[in-house]
Chains A and B, each alone.
Chain A
């Protein structure tokens, strides 16, 4: 059943939520991985789930897909409980997992066919869709090649095509561009933009703030399985970070720092000092006085927000 997306303008403002979770939680051997998360995703947006390694992102995605039973809370997708309607929900969902799990026993095209058969797509439907998908991810020339001959970027493109084989309304991507070169990353981004224009709802996790900023309409930052912040990318920056930052690498005396106006906030990270302020002037003045020290003045971004919310210490 091919689903053509309805025109966004024709939909009522209060369209039903595509994902609706309340107090979602998951324990592994008594230890909480996700602890009472409320997550609502309206249709036709790109929603980004951010958090350091081990924050609970993948666990949350696995619960949303019915690949991991929740320990508590409610979880509805397309208005249905995932535990009760896994098959129907997955029939309408496309998934790009973090780890490559293409089938090495088949060629590029056969991978798509085999995957389509798990969705019970009729042959004529596959004959129509699969060449289109291969064309879209620019893999038509490699259709007959074996999986182990593909580079990481090509594999990821094929995995994205595979996730679209059932023409899903809901697309879930777990770190879709990790380990890819800039060319491949930009290609995935433009494909995801196209998906969004075509009316699909996208949920992705990422460690790349640039990716989150470019693609996502809404962002949720989680850590230790709980919500830290949720807003649009620009909203997050406005809410959680000063507008300007001066990065100083190497030595700077305590007195110099002490002379900064109280509106400045400082953060140390290893050898570096970050000075945040809503006014560029004191930062620029300071930078001018530090002729011999490497320093950089810039506008603050999502990465600053992320580090502020989740701290700078390294994760496992």
Chain B
């Protein structure tokens, strides 16, 4: 928890820029794409396109923010700043660092998701206060995507390394996992592939909650997401330990 607290204190100092990023970016995306594209698309999956996009966007942002933090920021703390080397001279252990960072990445996802939810609500995309139940799912989504990010960081030899993960893993999920259109419009084989991508399940839970519809297969989606998060967190702990303790 001390690692979480450290990051939170640093974040508080840079909050201005961070708040601008969290509110400004989705505002531009949602206004530009939601209204711009929405005018041509009209409705999608039984809801205004703006609402569809905003709800998918929250899930994507949870993935994106946690991934960025768990790669660029964690690498910065681990390698150039040697923050973890300093921490490992105290009673704190590698496990404490990994858990602290995972929780911190999830917390940042929560900030970002909350910001988008507020923007979406102000723009009329949210119908019911029950949308706040999306917040714990956003936190979970952040946690689940921070863990593979840490795996990449543990293996990284430099910042360039993260581009592979961005291009090969994150961008396909961004495009394919139902953020912009329902996955049932994909070709059948593609649909089966997409079922194995964790972002799909995050979207499948977060969208109905935000929109105010019942979630179908909640257990399946939560279970898949949770299992993915736990397995990757376990691997991340092993790899980070191997990197820090030699």
* A110 vs B10: C-alpha distance when bound (angstroms): 11
Q: Is the CB of A103 within 8 A of B81?
A: yes
Q: Is the CB of A101 within 8 A of B91?
A: no
In A107-129, the 8 Å CB interface with B consists of 110, 114-115, 117-120
* A125 vs B118: C-alpha distance when bound (angstroms): 42
Interface size, A (range):
20 to 34
The answer to the question of A91 belonging to the interface, with a C-beta cut-off of 8 Å to chain B, is yes
Q: Is the CB of B91 within 8 A of A28?
A: no
Q: Is the CB of A114 within 8 A of B90?
A: no
Question: Which A residues are in CB contact (< 8 Å) with B87?
Answer: 118
Question: Which B residues are in CB contact (< 8 Å) with A102?
Answer: 86
Q: Is the CB of A68 within 8 A of B92?
A: no
With known contacts A114-B6, A118-B2, A101–B245 Cβ distance under 8 A: no
Choose from A28, A103, A119 the contact partner of B90 (Cβ within 8 Å): A119
Question: Which A residues are in CB contact (< 8 Å) with B82?
Answer: 99-101
Question: Which B residues are in CB contact (< 8 Å) with A95?
Answer: 89
Q: Is the CB of B86 within 8 A of A90?
A: no
Q: Is the CB of A103 within 8 A of B83?
A: yes
The answer to the question of B93 belonging to the interface, with a C-beta cut-off of 8 Å to chain A, is yes
Minimal beta-carbon separation of A87 from chain B (angstroms): 4
The answer to the question of B243 belonging to the interface, with a C-beta cut-off of 8 Å to chain A, is no
* A90 vs B89: C-alpha distance when bound (angstroms): 7
- Residue on A with the closest CB to B91? A87
Question: Which B residues are in CB contact (< 8 Å) with A100?
Answer: 82
Q: Is the CB of A68 within 8 A of B89?
A: no
With known contacts A68-B245, A69-B245, A105-B10, A97–B81 Cβ distance under 8 A: no
The interface of chain A, by Cβ under 8 A from chain B, is 28, 65, 67-69, 86-88, 90-91, 93, 95, 97, 99-106, 110, 114-115, 117-120, 163, 166
- Residue on B with the closest CB to A113? B9
With known contacts A68-B246, A118-B2, A104–B81 Cβ distance under 8 A: yes
* A303 vs B148: C-alpha distance when bound (angstroms): 51
Question: Which B residues are in CB contact (< 8 Å) with A106?
Answer: 9-10
Interface string of B71-82 (1 = CB under 8 A from A): 000000000011
Choose from B2, B83, B86 the contact partner of A97 (Cβ within 8 Å): B86
Interface string of B1-34 (1 = CB under 8 A from A): 0100110011001000000000000000000000
